[in-house]
A and B are shown apart, each in its own frame.
Chain A
Amino acid sequence: MSNDVREGSKTAITTPSDTEIRIERTIDAPRDLVWEAYTDRELLTQWLGPRDLSMTVEEYDIRPGGSYRFTHRDAEGNEFVFFGDILEVEEQNRLARTFAWEGMPGKQSIERAEFEELEDGRTRIVVISSFDSKEDRDGMLQSGMERGVNDSYERLDELVAQHQAG
């Protein structure tokens, strides 16, 4: 299962190794604008979070040594806080950061995003997330299933936490 590209899906998710997830997507916009949407605090809130959750950004300091922190809130008031440190910034080319969720203390992954301007004015984004173990990687993949079970966030959290701990 290393090349799993589906018809009708513009995003390709692959697992180049047991501890990585690779995400590739071509965006129909030039690279400077994609970079802006990716790194601007206000714009970020408009695309990053799930549609059914509100999002606030407490910190978004995109420079080496900087850090970020944002919170998703659901209708019941449950909060999901994500945070990390910025490891590497190469304007419009590359952004590397740690990524952690408060629900899983002590666990973090490293996310490296690369932005490539294509000849037709579109931009290819490749994000590679690296985890400490296969269990951590699988826990993150499972978290995507939250979309299918919107009414059971708590159970999901519990499951993922258990999976991570186990």
Chain B
Amino acid sequence: MVQYSPVDRTFAALADPTRRTVLERLGRGSATISELAVPAGMSLTGMKKHVQILEEAELVRTEKHGRTRHCYLGPRRLEDVSDWVDAYRRTWDDRFDRLEEVIKREKGSR
């Protein structure tokens, strides 16, 4: 079983076009599973699976009202860029570490 970090989970959740459409839709207001399923041309079961993945990534939260499940945008908003910044920083950290290594090698070979 592969263990996914929260960043991976967010990314995996966002990697699917249906799920991105769901987030766009929920950005305009809450919706039930069937209100999400119909325009996507999907079964309720299919849409539930997508919503569940989004829920695990905390991009969506759901509440059950009677027999209907209502979906809302979750605590982890797309506007929350701290994860992206963190990953971006690691890329540059790595890059500049290598820049230092290259210079040390060059200096050594002179």
**Is A107 interfacial (CB-CB < 8 Å)?**
no
Nearest residue, chain B, Cβ from A140 = B88
Q: How far is the CB of A57 from chain B (nearest CB, A)?
A: 14
Q: Is the CB of A15 within 8 A of B81?
A: yes
Pairwise interchain contact A155-B90, C-beta atoms closer than 8 A: no
Residues of A within 8 A of B86 (CB): 6
Q: Is the CB of B84 within 8 A of A50?
A: no
Question: B95 to A48, Cβ gap below 8 A?
Answer: yes
Within 8 Å of chain A (Cβ to Cβ): is B76?
no
State whether B100 touches A29 (Cβ < 8 A).
yes
Instruction: Please determine whether A37 and B11 come into contact, CB atoms closer than 8 angstroms.
Output: no
Contact residue among B17, B83, B96, B101 (Cβ-Cβ distance under 8 Å from A10): B96
Q: Which residues of A contact B5 (CB under 8 A)?
A: 148
B1 contacts across to A, CB distance below 8 A: none
B69 beta carbon closer than 8 Å to chain A: no
The residue of chain B having its C-beta at the shortest distance from the C-beta of A51 within the complex is: B94
| A25 close to B81 (CB less than 8 A) | no
B40 at the interface (CB under 8 A from A): no
Bound state CA distance, A162 and B12, in angstroms? 15
Write the chain B residue with the least CB distance to A6.
B89
Contact size class for A?
Answer: 35 or more
Alpha-carbon separation in the docked complex, A25 to B90 (Å): 12
Q: Is the CB of A125 within 8 A of B96?
A: yes
Interface string of A1-41 (1 = CB under 8 A from B): 10010100111110100000101010111000110111000
B residues in contact with A47, CB < 8 Å: 95-96, 98-99, 101-102
CB of A156, distance to nearest CB on chain B (Å): 7
A110-125 contacts to B, CB under 8 A, are 125
Interface residues of A (CB under 8 A from B): 1, 4, 6, 9-13, 15, 21, 23, 25, 27-29, 33-34, 36-38, 43, 46-48, 50-51, 125, 138, 140-149, 152, 155-156, 158-159, 162, 166
- Report 22 cross-chain contacts, Cβ distance below 8 Å, ordered by A residue: A1-B82, A4-B85, A9-B89, A11-B89, A13-B92, A37-B103, A43-B106, A47-B102, A50-B94, A138-B84, A142-B84, A143-B88, A144-B89, A145-B7, A147-B87, A147-B90, A148-B7, A149-B8, A152-B11, A155-B11, A158-B15, A159-B14
Which residues of chain B have a CB within 8 Å of any CB of chain A?
5, 7-8, 11-12, 14-15, 17, 20, 24, 81-104, 106-107
